[in-house]
């Protein structure tokens, strides 16, 4: 229809109503009983900025990426993703022949039959993480995260979706969708960064082992709740060398290029505890299956040998300011407004001071999708989608 055409002329009106009924019919097929393909597998996503496709656009927080140059390479506009293009979770959806999974808070009439994304940049497994904390070294920068969607709240959103699916599809078909779906989660990095970059005193009250136990305990509780609702197939990433991102390297005295070892130590404790927790769940929960990607290996290999994987550097971010471009000023919308931007993000492991480039995300996603058990196991995500 052109702008000059009268929509209520006879021919235009016929075309309009024909398209309307065809659209309604196709939409209803998504939610009516027997409308889903036999082997349909949805994807539900939980986590932090590694997976956030723009949920943080819709509430009051400074943890946003809905401005240029975020999104510059693939989408050609900012979507809220902390990346120049697509996230790891976007590639996983593509490999599973699903559309881009939308943010839960995005306005619109969501059907949820393909899944939905609850992830929120800055979110942790602990409700207290990044809620109103002052973030950053006072000698470098100060940033206030006024709100994030913690893991427990993301779980509450999933329960609402599960209830809505039962209402629309009926109990039997909703149960089938929930049980066949894959539940992809990345959580914990924000919990381990916050005690060192905020006004938190939590590590004065708990040992590192106790603190990690709290994080893994909340994650385990969430897994069990999804399992009770019918979920059976789960995907995770471990954390690895968390202290080696540019925004944390800049906090190391002397700018020696060293990683922030105390945060890396927490990440390694997390990875041991996560492995143990998942093994116990596999023993105790019937039909529970999981894929755990060893980000410590995939990230470590690219950090140590960037040229082997097509990157010019793994030490400096494409976008930011200061040493390593580690000050989170990309886009100039935070406290520090001046920033530098590289000409080609594909040459960089990191796009901004904390987040990988689209090229790196794609490489990680491929390993999560079809990697061998030593890199993603005991299942990879492809096997989970086919199970």
**275 included as an active-site residue:** no
Q: Of the residues 49, 190, 298, 321, which is catalytic? A: 49
3-state secondary structure the chain: CCCCCCCCCHHHHHHHHHHHHHHHHHHHHHHCCCCCCCCCCCEEEEECCCCCCCHHHHCCCCCCCCCCCCCCCCCCCCCCCCCCCCCHHHHHHHHCCCCCCCECCCCCCCCCCCEEECCCCCCCCCCCCCCCCEECCCCCCCEECCCCCCHHHHHHHHHHHHHHHHHHHCHHHHHHHHHHCEEEEECCHHHHHHHHHCCCCHHHHCCHHHHHHHHHHHHHHHHHHHHHCCCCEEEEECCCCHHHCHHHHCCCCCCCCCCCHHHHHHHHHHHHHHHHHHHHHHHHCCCCEEEEECHHHHHHHHHHCHHHHCCCECCCCCEEECHHHCECCCCCCCCCCCCEECCCHHHECECCCCCECHHHHHHHHHHHHHCCCCCEEECCHHHHHHC
**26 included as an active-site residue:** no
Q: Of the residues 48, 84, 90, 352, which is catalytic? A: 352
**321 included as an active-site residue:** no
Active-site positions read 49, 352, 355
């Amino acid at each position: 229809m052109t702008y000059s055409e009268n929509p209520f002329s006879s021919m235009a009106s016929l075309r309009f109503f024909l398209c309307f009924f065809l659209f309604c019919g196709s939409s209803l097929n998504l939610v009516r009983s027997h409308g889903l393909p036999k082997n349909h597998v949805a994807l539900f996503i939980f986590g932090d900025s590694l997976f956030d496709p723009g949920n943080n656009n819709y509430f009051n927080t400074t943890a946003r990426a809905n401005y240029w140059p975020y999104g510059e390479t693939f989408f050609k506009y900012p979507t809220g993703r902390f990346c120049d293009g697509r996230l790891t979770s976007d590639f996983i959806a593509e490999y599973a022949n699903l559309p881009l999974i939308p943010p839960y808070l995005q306005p619109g009439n969501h059907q949820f039959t393909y899944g939905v994304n609850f992830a929120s940049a800055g979110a942790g497994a602990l409700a207290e993480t990044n809620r109103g904390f002052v973030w950053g070294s006072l000698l470098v920068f100060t940033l206030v995260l006024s709100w994030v969607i913690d893991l427990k709240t993301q779980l509450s959103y999933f329960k609402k979706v599960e209830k809505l699916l039962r209402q629309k599809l009926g109990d039997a078909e909703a149960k089938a969708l929930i049980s066949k779906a894959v539940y992809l989660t990345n959580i914990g990095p924000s919990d381990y960064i916050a005690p060192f970059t905020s006004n938190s005193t939590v590590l004065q009250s708990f040992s590192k082992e106790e603190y990690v136990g709290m994080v893994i305990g909340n994650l385990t509780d969430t897994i069990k709740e999804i399992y009770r609702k019918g979920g059976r197939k789960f995907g995770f990433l471990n954390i690895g060398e968390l202290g080696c991102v540019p925004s944390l390297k800049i906090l190391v005295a002397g700018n020696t290029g060293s990683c922030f070892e105390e945060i890396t130590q927490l990440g390694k404790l997390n990875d041991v505890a996560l492995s143990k927790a998942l093994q116990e769940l596999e023993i105790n929960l019937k039909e529970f299956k999981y894929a755990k990607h060893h980000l410590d290996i995939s990230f470590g290999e690219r950090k140590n040998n960037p040229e082997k994987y097509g990157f010019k550097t793994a030490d400096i971010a494409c976008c930011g300011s200061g040493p390593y471009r580690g000050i989170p000023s990309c886009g100039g919308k935070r406290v520090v407004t001046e920033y530098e931007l590289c000409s080609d993000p594909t040459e960089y492991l990191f796009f901004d001071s904390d987040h990988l480039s689209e090229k790196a995300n794609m490489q990680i996603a491929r390993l999560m999708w079809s990697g061998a058990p030593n890199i993603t196991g005991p299942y990879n995500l492809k096997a989970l989608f086919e199970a």
